[in-house]
Every structure is written in structure tokens, then in C-alpha cells.
Amino acid sequence: MHQPPSASEEELRAFFNVASEAVLLVNDAGECLDANLAACVLFHLTPETLRGYALSDLLHPHLIHPADHVWQVPWVGEFEFQLPDQAAHQILVQSLPQVQPHRHLLVFQEITAQKPPAVEANPLASESKQHLQPYSSSPEDLSQYHRLLFEQNPNPMWIYDLETLAFLAVNQAAVTLYGYSQAEFLSMTIADIRPPQEIPKLLASIQNQSPQFSQSSGVWLHRQKDGALLDVRITSQPMQWLGRAARVVIAQDVTEHQRIETVSSNRGRYLSALVEIQQQLLSVHGRDSFYQQVLASLGQAALASRTYLFENHWNQAGELLTSQRAEWCAEGIQPELHNPLYQNLSYALVPRWLATFFAG
């Protein structure tokens, strides 16, 4: 895998701010010195409040003793935390000790819903050693933390040049989601993962984004290597990369979430339309006005440009015909109610309609 250069203090701050995992910086005593946004969300506390907390304030009372100082050695373990809702939450914690002298990083991931809450009384006790999983090596400088947040982040991340829009670095999650190799990404720009119709919007967004602060630019349409489209929520942070103005981006694939929201929204519109039609049936003042109201309700629910009502009838030769009798049009759509092409239309010209009609 391509290794990004070692992180500077500014680069570390950018990753710290946009990391999807909750991250705390603590001192030797386990007192919180800094917290990112994800940590504030997890613990339901403001950054200012968290900075005044010790880990012993967050740990469930019957668990670990603060004197154990487990954050000063490299490990991955499970803890039970007492969050403000008074419920016990299972949280996976990874420590990165000594990122600076007497400064340690703790990365948190809640696993309450994934596993029953069963934690040993003391994570350092011999009978609970199996809960601690030392990782390969203790970090020697900030670049180790940089690699953890960037390369191992479960969400796609990349850094791009603000002037050329070229990718400068991407993590493995981006490679997996988008289908491009590391080498392919590094020969592309961020416009190459957008469909053509999104590029003007992208360029306008880059012009308007904050040069100093992290910001969410909402949900965007992205394109994978095979052409499939994704709905992606983007958060980015400005930074300097090897002396160049750049931006670090974290992307969250919300395609399935957007699909579910769309289905739910459609269902809601159709149910509302059915209620309106039922109410209209109770107050019919004329066939034509009723048809117009029903077609309007259906058209608006379906987000259609027009809806029709056709009436079936027979001609003198015994052939089944259909003719348009009512129509609703959205604003700006030209009506076709009196178009002769839609009168006395033979089903022989539209056999699919006839098959559907007889199928019920």
C-alpha cells in the first residue's frame, strides 16, 4: 500500500477533526486534554466539558481503577462506559500511547448493539487478559496515528490538491468502495468520480467552501469504476500537504439509506393521496371535477408531469377502443386532453395495455 508522508501537527489536526471514530487525547493521569466531534457525539458532552473529564468519570463504577493507567500501553480492549443516559454502553477502545511525551490517544467505537454487555471486572487482571489485544508496535511519532485514522478508517478518505483537484492520497476503504486501485486514484482528480452533470456543482462548492474550518457539504452523487452511482455524504477539512493547499475528505456511503428514505417518502405520498381521494369521494359535486381532483392527487403523489383517465368503449364493428376523458397536468405542461391521437385508440396498437387490462 502507498504510504502517505509523515503527518505534521497541522495534518494531524485535520485528521483528528474529521475522524469518524471518537478520539480523546489524554495525559498520564487519564485526564482528557482534547476531544474530536465524534467523541462529543458519543459521550453527549461538549468539547469544553469533556476536557475537564477524567476517564474514571466515564468508566462504569464497578470496572477499572484509574491507577491501572491502561492507556499508557498499546492495546485494544472492551470497556463498559457510563454515558449520561445512565445506561451501560459497551465500547471498544484502542490506545496509542506516547504520541507526544505524556500524551496518549484513545480511539473509541461503540459495540453495545453488536455484543451482549459482559465485561470482566478488571481489564488488566490475569483472568481477563483475553480482552486485551496488543497491536504490532507502539507508535514512535504522530505519523503512526496519522496512518491509523487515514489508512484504517472504515470510511473512504482521501486528500486532494485544491488547485489541481488531483488525488494526493487515498485509503483502502476508498479503493474498496470505488473500485480503483491506489495507482489509478493517484492519476485522477476528484471530478473523475463524479457523473458529468455533478461537476459544475462540485466546482461551485469548492469555490464556496471554508478555507479554515471543517464542513459538511451534504450528500453527493459519486460514480464507481464500473459506472454504478452512489449517494455519498461528504465532510472535509482544509490542510497543508507538503506545502500545498489541500483538503482531507471523509466520505460516508448513504446509498441504501437514501433508497430507504425515498421508498418511505413515496409510500407516504401515496397514502396521503389515497386519504385525499377518499375524502373527495365523500364530497362529489360532479364527475368532471371529481376526476380532476383524483388525477391531481395521483399525479402529485407520483411526481408525474401528467395523469390521464381513459374510458373503454366498443365501436360498431365490435372492436375494443379507449379514449381519454380527463387529464391533470403539472405546472408548465401542455394539456393533451383534446388531442385526437388519444381518442378512439385501438388496443391493437398498444397490446401491452390490453394484456394489462384483462389481467386486472
pLDDT at residue 48 in the model: 76
101-115, 118-132, 169-183, 252-266: segment of lowest average pLDDT: 118-132
Predicted confidence (pLDDT) per residue in 155-165, tens digit: 898 999 999 99
- Residues with Cβ within 8 Å of 283's Cβ and at least 6 positions away in sequence, in order, are none
In this predicted structure, the answer to whether residue 27 has a pLDDT above a threshold of 50 is yes
Predicted confidence (pLDDT) per residue in 245-266, tens digit: 888 888 889 888 878 877 777 7
Contact 189, 164 (CB under 8 A): yes
Predicted confidence (pLDDT) per residue in 60-107, tens digit: 554 444 445 666 777 667 777 766 556 667 787 877 777 777 888 888
For the chain, what percent of residues have pLDDT higher than 90?
A: 17
> Among 46, 5, 40, which Cα is nearest to 239's?
5
> What string of DSSP letters covers 160-216?
EETTT-BEEEE-HHHHHHH---HHHHTTSBGGGGS-GGGHHHHHHHHHHS-SSS-EE
Most confident of 23-27, 36-40, 135-139: 23-27
Q: What is the mean pLDDT of residues 112-135?
A: 38
Nine cell digits for residue 237: 477539512
pLDDT at residue 358 in the model: 67
Model confidence at 220, pLDDT cuts 50, 70, 90, reads very high
185-189, 235-239, 251-255, 285-289: segment of lowest average pLDDT: 285-289
pLDDT at residue 272 in the model: 80
Rounded to whole angstroms, the Cα distance separating 178 from 215 reads 23
The answer to whether the 21-147 and 157-253 domains have the same CATH topology is yes
In this predicted structure, the answer to whether residue 11 has a pLDDT above a threshold of 60 is no
pLDDT at residue 12 in the model: 58
Q: What is the mean pLDDT of residues 175-195?
A: 96
Query: Mean pLDDT score of the chain, rounded to an integer?
Result: 75
Contact 18, 214 (CB under 8 A): yes
Strand partners, 81: 59, 89
pLDDT at residue 136 in the model: 33
CATH 3.30.450.20 fits 157-253, yes or no: yes
Predicted confidence (pLDDT) per residue in 274-296, tens digit: 777 777 766 766 666 777 788 88
pLDDT at residue 59 in the model: 67
pLDDT at residue 206 in the model: 87
pLDDT at residue 203 in the model: 92
Look at domain 21-147 and name its CATH class.
Answer: alpha beta
In this predicted structure, the answer to whether residue 315 has a pLDDT above a threshold of 60 is yes
pLDDT at residue 226 in the model: 96
pLDDT at residue 212 in the model: 57
- Every domain of the chain and the residues it spans: 21-147, 157-253, 258-359
Rounded to whole angstroms, the Cα distance separating 312 from 325 reads 10
pLDDT at residue 52 in the model: 77
- Residues with Cβ within 8 Å of 50's Cβ and at least 6 positions away in sequence, in order, are 24, 32, 35, 39, 40, 43
- The Cα-based distances of 288 to 63, 66, 277, 291 in angstroms read 74, 78, 14, 5
pLDDT at residue 18 in the model: 66
pLDDT at residue 133 in the model: 36
Phi/psi of residue 304, nearest 5 degrees: -90, 160
